[in-house]
């Protein structure tokens, strides 16, 4: 006797019988979607990096080493948060590390000039806000491409920093300030920078995932024109995201200065690639419209554990840059694989068929 067709059975069954089956199917679908999320892949990567680090060095998982893992990635992680929102809107900010360097340099220049440290910090944060606003005006006001604008301001900020201090360095900061870079938060093994990152990450998560502003940010990244026609103030939101990025990166520059107890114009040189790698490794789509703060947090942990593991076994920094570059490429290609495939297929469809454009020979035209 043939088994009953499940579709027919569900259609003819009463609501009381069909509802539990449908509920189970929805639960299984949600579970499958959860297992396939990029964040789940990052959890596996984090576990693998921790296991690898523990096998490479017996000191990898002790609390002191975990403190240094957070210390080394703290400023990068902080700068990755505002960049996450910018990339979700479909834009980019490559000037983050240069703003960190400018902030560190300006702080040293003001402190050397005799300004009280607390006032110098406030001035630095204000300059960071203005620098981010400059990016926002050029991108939203003049409509210039964000990658070109931020490459330009990357050079501009670094050049101003070099003018301020040149090859000099400034030290002599109060011990209470420099302790923020080398002493963990009381009662924990967390560095101050990574503790600040966790607090900011919670705030960013609420804004992005549980507020109308967050929904607007996703809408802008998915379809900017549709978002504009639906009443979302696209330019205003992008402008303030850039301004906020400048402010947060300036604060990261202050923490960087206190960690190294010195100010130099080349502070943070090259960190922009690490920050971008963290954001993209966190599953934020380079095309905009997709990403999560949880993914960025997990990507920070993966990046920090990998770098610390490689450092413990004395891997050359240039080789570590190769690992970072590989992660950057993988983080672009793997999460965006389906979208890349769709784009390739769309381009292939626009290519005319070879058979349709083959020209007939003269003899064939005579025969016809």
Q: Residues 66-109: pLDDT tens digits?
A: 888 888 899 999 999 999 999 999 999 999 999 999 999 999 99
Q: Do the domain assignments include residue 292?
A: yes
Q: Do the domain assignments include residue 136?
A: yes
Q: Which structural domain, as residue segments, surrounds residue 138?
A: 57-334
Q: Do the domain assignments include residue 303?
A: yes
361 φ/ψ angles, rounded to the nearest 5 degrees: -75, 160
Q: Do the domain assignments include residue 364?
A: no
pTM above 0.95, yes or no: no
Q: Residues 3-23: pLDDT tens digits?
A: 444 444 444 444 444 455 554
34 φ/ψ angles, rounded to the nearest 5 degrees: -65, -40
Q: Do the domain assignments include residue 49?
A: no
Q: Do the domain assignments include residue 279?
A: yes
CB 129 within 8 A of CB 242: no
- Position 11 scores a pLDDT of 44
Q: Residues 286-337: pLDDT tens digits?
A: 889 999 999 999 999 998 888 887 777 777 777 777 877 787 777 677 666 6
Q: Do the domain assignments include residue 13?
A: no
**Joined tokens for residue 56:** 């490479």
Q: How buried is 326 (Cβ within 10 angstroms: 0-12 exposed, 13-18 middle, 19+ buried)?
A: exposed
CA distance 14 to 21: 11
Q: Residues 26-53: pLDDT tens digits?
A: 544 444 444 457 888 889 988 988 888 8
Q: Do the domain assignments include residue 348?
A: no
Structural domain count, the chain: 1
CB 72 within 8 A of CB 308: yes
CA distance 264 to 341: 45
Q: Residues 218-242: pLDDT tens digits?
A: 999 999 999 999 999 999 999 999 9
CA distance 323 to 329: 10
CA distance 96 to 127: 13
């Amino acid at each position: 006797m043939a088994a009953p067709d499940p579709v027919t059975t569900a259609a003819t069954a009463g609501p009381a019988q069909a509802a539990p089956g449908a509920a189970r199917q929805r639960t299984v679908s949600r579970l499958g979607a959860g297992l396939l999320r990029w964040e789940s892949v990052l959890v596996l990567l984090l576990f693998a990096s921790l296991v690898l680090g523990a096998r490479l060095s017996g000191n990898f998982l002790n609390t002191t080493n975990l403190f240094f893992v957070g210390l080394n990635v703290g400023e990068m992680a902080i700068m990755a948060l505002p960049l996450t929102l910018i990339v979700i809107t479909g834009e980019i900010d490559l000037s983050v590390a240069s703003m960190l360097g400018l902030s560190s340099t300006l702080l040293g220049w003001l402190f050397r000039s005799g300004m009280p440290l607390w006032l110098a910090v406030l001035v630095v944060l204000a300059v960071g806000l203005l620098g981010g606003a400059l990016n926002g005006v050029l991108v939203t006001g003049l409509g210039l491409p964000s990658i070109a604008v931020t490459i330009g301001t990357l050079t501009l900020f670094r050049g101003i920093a070099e003018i301020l201090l040149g090859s000099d360095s400034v030290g002599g900061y109060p011990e209470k300030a420099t302790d923020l870079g080398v002493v963990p938060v009381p009662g924990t093994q967390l560095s101050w920078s990574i503790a600040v990152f966790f607090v900011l990450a919670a705030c960013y998560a609420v804004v992005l995932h549980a507020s109308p502003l967050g929904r607007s940010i996703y809408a802008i990244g998915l379809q900017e024109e549709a978002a504009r026609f639906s009443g979302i103030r696209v330019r205003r939101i992008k402008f303030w995201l850039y301004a906020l990025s400048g402010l947060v990166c300036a604060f990261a520059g202050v923490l960087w200065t206190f960690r190294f107890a010195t100010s130099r114009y080349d502070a943070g040189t090259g960190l922009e690639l690490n920050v971008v790698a963290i954001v993209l490794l966190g599953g934020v789509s380079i095309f905009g419209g997709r990403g999560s703060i949880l993914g960025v947090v997990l990507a920070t942990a993966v990046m920090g554990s990998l770098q610390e593991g490689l450092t413990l076994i004395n891997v050359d920094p240039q080789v570590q840059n190769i690992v970072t570059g590989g992660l950057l490429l993988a983080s672009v290609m793997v999460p965006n694989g389906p979208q890349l495939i769709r784009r390739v297929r769309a381009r292939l469809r626009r290519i005319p068929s070879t058979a349709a454009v083959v020209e007939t020979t003269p003899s064939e035209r005579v025969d016809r």
